[in-house]
């Protein structure tokens, strides 16, 4: 009876989640197939360089996003018609302006980077296609209107095109640039497809705006943008610092494990994408119901986290050998060290994006990230300098634990959810 009541109560939300999983299931499968294939075909040296270049480009991607992945859905969810259209156009215009400036900065950055790292100019520029694609792809809008199936449909179409192309074209290490291009055009194709959908189904969105609308978006997204920059610095610092003290092969040994953890955590993506705008509205309408709902989500997520921990720790050898090949044997111990990461990532997502953010404590969220960044910067260089890839895994784990402690303190301080 309780299960039936739960299904009836959250019918629309469950429909969104099921819709996303049914479509994204194939997308995840394609991603998990192509990831180990590229790792084995390209080898540690080339794949390590690709990881390094993609890590650098991730900073540009974050700058162009400017926090709209979090502020956008909230604004779209609580506004309708003309106001919604103004928000949509002002966010798209803001992202376009930032993307233009970021493109100019990239050429200057490369001159500095080539003196520090062993990187390929073509790989770096090919990786930047992702930034242009994400600028065009309004994921935040579809999240806000709670129609996430559009996100997954366009992503799936793009992923199927590029995945099949990779298997047919990428056959050896010499094809590494083609591999990067085919990976990078996924969000570009998805962005083009999504704009076509909006022009057909949501014509009312395309209205004229003024400079004040754009200025407002810059101001509104600033605190989240700074938080995201801090997050990116400490989540990407491992690769950047490892590149200073190690070879591309060592980067690959660590990078494949980090990528594996990231892929596994994407499984929770549909739930987070569906729940985030829902909780934002629920907090405004009924905070008691919001508290109750968050607790239920937390229990489910934590169960998944512990299950992943057991699988990763006890199955480390088989996972590495069968997915990446025996040339990545050095990655086995790294996977064991990071086997607990899913638990800590889930906790930080619950505390940060499902509690502090929807309840309006963006400043608290920023403080948590800032303090965690300081902690990360203190330990990252010495640990990686002395212990290389093992040091990077320790930094990654300790940093995630640190952000958990910080967020837990602020949630308790604000007396929300578990301490109300």
Q: What is the pLDDT of residues 315-334, one digit of tens each?
A: 999 999 988 988 899 999 99
- CA–CA separation, 197 vs 88, rounded Å? 14
Confidence (pLDDT) at 395: 92
DSSP letter for each residue of 236-270: HHHHHHHHHHS-HHHHHHHHHHHHHHHHHHGGGHH
Q: Which residue has the tokens 């602020």?
A: 410
Asked if residue 192 has pLDDT above 80, the reply is: yes
- CA–CA separation, 23 vs 34, rounded Å? 18
Q: Which two tokens stand for residue 160?
A: 């199927």
Q: What angle do CA 282, 288, 293 make, to 5 degrees?
A: 65
Q: How confident is the model at residue 1 (pLDDT cuts 50, 70, 90)?
A: low
Q: How confident is the model at residue 8 (pLDDT cuts 50, 70, 90)?
A: low
Give mean pLDDT, residues 151-170. Answer: 83
Task: Report which of residues 216 and 400 the model is more confident about.
Answer: 400
Q: Which residue has the tokens 């591309």?
A: 248
Percent pLDDT > 70 in the chain is 91
Give mean pLDDT, residues 103-111. Answer: 84
Confidence (pLDDT) at 13: 64
Q: Which two tokens stand for residue 84?
A: 């919604």
Alpha-carbon radius of gyration of the chain: 21
Q: For the purposes of burial, counting CB atoms within 10 Å of the CB of 49, is it exposed (0-12), middle (13-18) or buried (19 or more)?
A: buried
Torsion 266-268-270-273 (CA) sign: negative
Q: How confident is the model at residue 9 (pLDDT cuts 50, 70, 90)?
A: low
- CA–CA separation, 301 vs 268, rounded Å? 8
Confidence (pLDDT) at 357: 84
Q: How confident is the model at residue 224 (pLDDT cuts 50, 70, 90)?
A: confident
Give mean pLDDT, residues 225-229. Answer: 78
Confidence (pLDDT) at 387: 92
Confidence (pLDDT) at 80: 79
Confidence (pLDDT) at 210: 85
Contact (CB, 8 A) for 51 and 246: no
Confidence (pLDDT) at 219: 83
Q: Which two tokens stand for residue 57?
A: 């480009």
- CA–CA separation, 258 vs 338, rounded Å? 8
- CA–CA separation, 153 vs 56, rounded Å? 28
Hey, what long-range contacts does 359-364 have (CB within 8 A, 24 or more apart)? 359/283, 359/414, 359/416, 360/283, 361/410, 361/414, 361/416, 362/223, 362/224, 362/227, 363/223, 364/410, 364/413, 364/414
Nearest CA-CA partner of 55 in 185, 241, 269, 260: 241
Asked if residue 25 has pLDDT above 70, the reply is: no
Per the prediction, the chain carries an average pLDDT of: 84
Q: How confident is the model at residue 12 (pLDDT cuts 50, 70, 90)?
A: low
**For 138, what's the count of Cα atoms within 13 Å in the CB-facing half-sphere?**
27
- 202-221 residue pLDDT tens: 888 888 888 888 888 888 77
Contact (CB, 8 A) for 65 and 134: yes
Confidence (pLDDT) at 226: 80
Confidence (pLDDT) at 15: 63
Torsion 323-325-326-329 (CA) sign: negative
- CA–CA separation, 401 vs 341, rounded Å? 9
Contact (CB, 8 A) for 122 and 57: no
Task: Report which of residues 151 and 214 the model is more confident about.
Answer: 214
Question: Among the listed ranges 18-27, 154-163, 167-176, 352-361, which one has the minimum average pLDDT value?
Answer: 18-27
Asked if residue 147 has pLDDT above 80, the reply is: no
- CA–chain centroid gap for 319, Å, is 23
Give mean pLDDT, residues 8-19. Answer: 61
Residues ≥6 apart with Cβ < 8 Å to 412: 418, 419
Q: How confident is the model at residue 341 (pLDDT cuts 50, 70, 90)?
A: very high
Q: Which of 173-182, 288-297, 349-358 has the highest mean pLDDT?
A: 173-182
Question: Among the listed ranges 25-34, 40-49, 363-372, which one has the minimum average pLDDT value?
Answer: 25-34
Confidence (pLDDT) at 230: 75
Give mean pLDDT, residues 173-187. Answer: 90
- 342-376 residue pLDDT tens: 999 999 989 988 888 888 888 888 889 889 889 98
């Amino acid at each position: 009876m309780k299960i039936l009541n739960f299904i009836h109560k959250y019918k629309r939300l469950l429909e969104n989640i099921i819709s996303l999983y049914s479509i994204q299931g194939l997308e995840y499968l394609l991603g998990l197939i192509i990831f180990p294939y590229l790792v084995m075909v390209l080898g540690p040296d080339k794949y390590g360089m690709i990881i390094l270049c993609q890590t650098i480009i991730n900073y540009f991607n974050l700058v162009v996003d400017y926090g709209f992945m979090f502020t956008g859905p909230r604004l779209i969810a609580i506004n309708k018609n003309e106001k919604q259209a103004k928000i949509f156009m002002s966010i798209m215009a803001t992202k376009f302006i930032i993307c233009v400036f970021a493109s100019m900065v990239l050429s200057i950055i490369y001159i500095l980077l080539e003196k520090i790292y062993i990187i390929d100019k073509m790989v770096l520029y090919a990786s930047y296609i992702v930034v242009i694609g994400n600028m065009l792809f309004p994921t935040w809008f579809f999240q806000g209107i709670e129609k996430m199936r559009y996100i997954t449909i366009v992503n799936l179409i793009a992923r199927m095109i590029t995945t099949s192309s990779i298997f047919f074209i990428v056959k050896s290490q010499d094809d590494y640039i083609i591999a990067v291009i085919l990976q990078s055009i996924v969000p570009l194709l998805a962005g083009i497809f999504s704009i076509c959908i909006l022009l057909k189904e949501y014509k009312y969105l395309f209205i004229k705006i003024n400079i004040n609308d754009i200025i407002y978006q810059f101001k509104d997204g600033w605190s989240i943008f700074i938080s995201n920059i801090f997050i990116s610095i400490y989540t990407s610092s491992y690769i950047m610092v490892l590149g200073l003290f190690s070879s591309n092969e060592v980067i690959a040994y660590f990078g494949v494990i980090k990528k594996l953890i990231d892929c596994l955590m994407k499984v929770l993506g549909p739930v987070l994408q569906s729940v985030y705008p829902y909780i934002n509205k629920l907090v405004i309408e009924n905070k008691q119901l919001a508290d109750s709902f968050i607790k239920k989500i937390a229990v489910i997520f934590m169960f998944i986290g512990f299950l992943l921990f057991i699988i990763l720790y006890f199955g480390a050898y088989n996972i590495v050998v069968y997915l990446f090949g025996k040339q990545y044997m050095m990655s086995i111990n790294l996977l064991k060290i990071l086997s607990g990461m899913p638990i800590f990532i889930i906790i930080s997502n619950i505390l940060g994006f499902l509690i502090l953010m929807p309840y309006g404590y963006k400043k608290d969220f920023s403080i948590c990230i800032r303090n965690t960044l300081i902690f990360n910067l203190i330990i990252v260089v010495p640990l990686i300098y002395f212990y290389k890839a093992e040091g990077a895994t320790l930094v990654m784990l300790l940093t995630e634990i640190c952000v958990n402690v910080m967020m837990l303190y602020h949630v308790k301080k604000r007396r929300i959810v578990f301490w109300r």
